[in-house]
Structure 1
């Protein structure tokens, strides 16, 4: 038996998954951008592959999406959108693995990178291996959504890895079969058993040796090393300031007010300031750091003029933005934009 490490801190959720869910909501007629903004999330920032959203905001968005869309099958719909390259370094490592067994071992080891609140327990049976999925905490109304997205997503990604449905693969789900499942059953190329003792992906032991069609030994080694480094960075950034920064990075409107960030993290403004002070950090300094990073991105990676950039960063006008940028870097924005890379 093998189990991933349990993570109780809020390590955030990759923003790209919420971006994908927003796209799903669009197909069912919901104004996804309005919903994101009501939760305090910037739709544009969610497209950044390295951005992470606080667990509190991610949960609020998913729960509101389930309620306002009236679609209980959102998890299954999202599962279809989970293409392997969208999973960052872990997706690359999985795609370049030698066999399906290697790919699943990587998923088990590094799941924290993509879903910190989940863990995997691997159990060997006579003719199959069960990869059971558990939540570290009680996700409440999100339980079925999470398990649908992860388990059906894994089955679909298995097809991507070997180009055909994995022979003999099955999905186990706790609880009775939901009334809406019949609408999705034709698109799922695996038997699904409800009222099972666990939520799990079942893989026949002989299928684990199936070769991955994208296998690349050198890429597999380098991407696994990147996963290890990223995991150390992520789990090392468990302080309160890390949680605050994640909220700042994806907030709408930007910059966020201290009161909004405190409410998102379920603390008082006074507590937020105190806890940041204990970590030798300040809220305004963190906002300015994110502003500087965004300013550099927009100056070098977009054709936006200074007034547009100033507005995007929450400044009253280009002059205020220019003064702040020069204070941070010693250059005015135009000089920075024209400087050689």
Structure 2
């Protein structure tokens, strides 16, 4: 399951607060725990982040919301990636690190970096499954990276050109002010084009020894990201739910060819529990199913392995603070 680092999500939270909105309320509205923002190593599921983007854009009513979020980007927004970029010798080395470790920021990120003698080009995309990437998301990614590069260089280093897939906005002036380069819309890619001359600009806080140490941390974290035991457990639970099989610790342990005790111990080593992994999966699936017009609260409770709709409704309210009927696609109330 794709996920994004909490530091990246924190930039969205700060922007919501700047609008006078409560990011805590909006997070809970979409099923996200705002307390996770306090943990520098936590991650949110991509499905939740996509719902957060949709709700944030709707609540603010600002077509330039993504550009506002870009102004909130800090080194901590990119976690170890941002710190490694800040310690790079040159701007080019920093951008190479961004492309190499971008999946630590969002595991759905797909970055293509190409170079010629006089230009460096980054093509950015996200694998979000069935959920489309909102234009505001890419606004933040591209503008945020450009602003971050300016910050670590200690001066404005405008790209040669920026391209967006998104429709042409009603007012493009803020894009031009922020990016300070030609900006093209309705293109076949989302990309940033830099001059190779600018890639030789030094980074103010360059420390290649520290950058090398951070590289090692990033490589380790990339390995952990793809190998986390709790993700394997989640995939096994998903298989059981899809097959309408019994969902239990015993059944999961048997499917994973280990004892129940080993299953629980390995989850504990990652700071989680079997019930927490199951609840997170059920909450995520509940939102997906409740958006389908052919699903009722009763049918969703069955699909998620609950004994009855009332038990599911109580669990959903515990997760999100509201009844499942209020999260349905048409917003109509349904008693459960």
Normalised to the residue count of structure 1, the TM-score between the two structures is 0.68
Q: Which residue matches 2:189?
A: 198
Q: Partner of 1:19 in structure 2?
A: 10
Q: Given the alignment of the two structures, is residue 121 of structure 1 paired with residue 115 of structure 2, yes or no?
A: no
Q: 1:216 and 1:287 mapped to 2: Cα distance?
A: 34
1:72 pairs with 63, 74, 77, which one?
A: 63
Q: Distance in 2 between matches of 1:71 and 1:243?
A: 36
The corresponding residue for 2:162 is 171
Residue segments in structure 2 that go unaligned for 5+ positions in a row: 274-317, 319-336
1:183 Cα deviation after fit: 4.2
**Structure 1 residue aligned with 2:79:** 88
Taking CA–CA contacts closer than 8 Å with sequence separation of 6 or more, which of the two structures ends up with the larger relative contact order?
Answer: 1
- Over the residues paired in the alignment, what is the CA RMSD in angstroms? 3.2
After superposition, the Cα gap between the structure-2 partners of 1:40 and 1:140, relative to the gap in structure 1 and judged at 3 Å, is closer
Q: In structure 2, what is the Cα distance between the partners aligned to 1:138 and 1:109? A: 22
| Count of aligned pairs | 264
- Corresponding residue of 1:232: 223
2:158 aligned with 1:186, yes or no? no
Partner of 1:107: 98
Q: Distance in 2 between matches of 1:157 and 1:243?
A: 35
Cα distance change, pair 147–241 in 1 and its aligned pair in 2 (3 A): same
* SS of residue paired to 1:119: strand
TM-score where L is the length of structure 2: 0.69
Q: Give the Cα separation in 2 of the matches to 1:193 and 1:271.
A: 53
CA contact (8 A) 2:119 2:195 kept: yes
Rounded Cα–Cα distance in structure 2 between residues aligned with 1:193 and 1:238 = 43
Hey, what's the Cα distance between the residues in 2 that align with 1:37 and 1:19? 14
| Segment drifting more, 11-20 vs 138-147 | 138-147
In the TM superposition, what is the alpha-carbon distance from 1:68 to its structure 2 partner? 2.5
Task: Compare 161-170 and 179-188 and name the one that shifted more.
Answer: 179-188
CA contact (8 A) 1:131 1:200 kept: yes
Residue 143 (structure 2) pairs with residue 143 (structure 1): no
Q: Answer yes or no: is the 8 Å Cα contact 1:20–1:81 preserved in 2.
A: yes
Deviations 1:188-214 (A, max 9, x none): 333322233321011111111111111
| Alpha-carbon distance in 1 for matches of 2:91, 2:190 | 20
Distance 1:208 1:227, change over 3 A: same
Instruction: Describe the shift of the 1:269–1:90 C-alpha distance in structure 2 as closer, same or farther (beyond 3 A).
Output: farther
